[in-house]
Amino acid sequence: MTPRATHLSAAATLVAAVPVAVWGLLGRQDVEGFSASELDYAYRPLDISDGAAAVVGVVALLLAGVGGALLVRASRRGELERRWWEVLAPLMPAGVIVGVGWRVLTAGVLGVNVGAGLTMLFGGPVVAGLLLWALVRGIWPANRRPAGHYRRGQQIEFAPREA
């Protein structure tokens, strides 16, 4: 596997594992003392036990740690441009908001789930803004050419000038 493919895999693992780790480690947020049939849900949660969700969360946390460590090592060695951290940095809090938001949206409550409404009202635009920021910052380094390449306004010479 090439270093570029390794970095891409590590970044994808990191970005995908963060919301899963938060979701799994946070656990169900149902009101205590009531059975599931007595509770109201904005969205029905996945039918996964808390123990299995915790195991999935721990595995995702370990994967996120490995992906992050690989990227930090590559960045310190100069194999990964530091500008790519400007793309990854907003995706981490977006993942945390998505993980917490999913637990809030699927929480069993008595009556109205006010947290679900607030999550959609505030969490959605914040996540959208972070994703937009990452997209804009990702387009900039991807389109930037290394030094020595043609730049706008630069005169191009196809053959050396004769003296």
Please write the tens of the pLDDT for every residue from 59-76. Answer: 999 999 999 999 999 999
Residue 33 zone, left/alpha/beta (φ > 0; ψ -120 to 50; rest): left
The per-residue pLDDT for 112 is: 87
The per-residue pLDDT for 145 is: 56
What secondary structure letter does DSSP report for 121? I
The per-residue pLDDT for 104 is: 94
Contact between 81 and 71 (Cβ < 8 Å): no
The DSSP line for 25-51 is HH---PPTTS-GGGSEESSPPPS--HH
Residues 126-141: tens digit of each pLDDT = 999 999 999 998 887 6
Average pLDDT for 29-46: 87
Residue whose tokens read 């977006």: 94
Looking only at Cα atoms, what is the longest distance across the chain? 91
Percent of the chain with pLDDT over 90: 54
User: pTM for this structure?
Assistant: 0.80
Least trusted range by pLDDT, from 9-13, 15-19, 97-101, 143-147: 143-147
User: pLDDT at residue 156 above 50?
Assistant: no
**b/e map 115-145, b = 16+ CB within 10 Å:** bbeebeeebeeebeebeebbeebbeeeeeee
Q: Among 67-81, 87-101, 130-144, name the most confident range.
A: 87-101
